[in-house]
Amino acid sequence: MSLLQRTVKLVLATVLAIGLADWAGLAYTTSAGIIAILSVLDTRRSSFKIARQRFLSALMALAIASFLFATLGFGLPVIALYMALYVPLAYRFGLESGIPPITVLVLHLYLEKSIAMSWLWNELALFLIGAGVALVLNLYMPSKQKEIDAYHTKVEEQLKAILLRFHEFLLKGDGTNEGVLIDELDEVLSQAQNLVYLDHNNHLFHQTNYQVHYFDMRMDQSKLLRQMAINVNSCHLESRESVILAHLFHETAQQLSQENPAKTLLDDISDFRELFRQRPLPQSRDEFETRAVLFQLLNDMERFIQLKVDFYEEYQNS
């Protein structure tokens, strides 16, 4: 939610809540505005969750206060006793978000020295109006889809750049800053995950985990790339196997897409593995170590691609 959107919602929530409370003939109507302000949150789901918690908190607080005021009177020590009972119970049942606003409502009873039904209804109505106005306003949440789509494109471009850097290194020995590219990718993925979790919590019904799982899948791929970067940098000998693997990196980079099922790449890996087996055995220790690293890279690429294949098969109709 942008600063402008939040400002507009807070202004509308405050004015509408106080106006409705005035229209209903309630006392202490500004409290409805305060409750409305506190109830305007960043997502629909969090708004409904907090509203529910505060409603239950209000029922508990008013019940405790009414009992104490009825039996012990309206002295200041009774307020202390009320707090001593209410606060631990609110935390015990996960209703602590209601402590500040609901205690304000209880203090109205203390000031009026009354627990008459009319006053209890007045306090409950203030809460319902304030929270209700905030919930209605929070039903409008701007779509994040354009921002999410932009992150899809950016992530795929960075993945492509990293794979092409691996390709260049295996062919030319130039790949010294792929670690920087992976750090940048991780930062973008972190931002994307924060955005999709926020958007996910704005859908109360008919929601899927597609976007969440997509960026989680890309994060898992990034972890593999970081390990692969270490292995790529340890390949110092030119070999036919290096050229073969460089071709796989290039092909994977060219086929990077949200919609691409990537299954054909798994077939390519099977073919490359068979080529590796048919190549002549290494003639020196350095050749042997290089061959082992290249084979490990091939296995890591298989896992890299399999992550996308598994994701595509789960969400191919999304």
Encode the chain (318 residues) as per-residue pLDDT tens digits: 567 777 888 899 899 999 999 999 999 999 999 999 988 877 777 778 888 999 999 999 999 999 999 999 999 999 999 999 999 999 999 999 899 999 999 999 999 999 999 999 999 999 999 999 988 888 777 667 788 888 888 988 898 888 888 888 877 765 555 678 888 989 999 988 888 877 766 655 445 578 888 889 899 989 998 888 887 776 655 556 677 777 888 888 887 766 666 667 777 777 767 766 666 665 656 665 666 777 788 888 888 888 888 888 887 665
Would you state the pLDDT for residue 286?
A: 62
- The helix/strand/coil state of 165 is helix
User: Which contacts of 289-294 are long-range, i.e. CB under 8 A and separated by 24 or more positions?
Assistant: 290/235, 290/236, 290/237, 290/239, 290/241, 290/242, 291/239, 291/241, 293/231, 293/234, 293/235, 294/235, 294/239, 294/241, 294/242, 294/245
* Exposure b/e, 46-84, CB count within 10 A at least 16 = b: ebbebbebbbbbbebbbebbbebbeeeebeeebbeebbe
For 42, the token pair is 């960043």
pLDDT of residue 205: 47
| Whether the model pTM is above 0.75 | no
CA angle (208, 213, 217) in 5-degree steps: 160
DSSP line for 59-97: HHHHHHHHHHHHHH-S-HHHHHHHHHHHHHHHHHTT-GG
Residue 285 pLDDT: 62
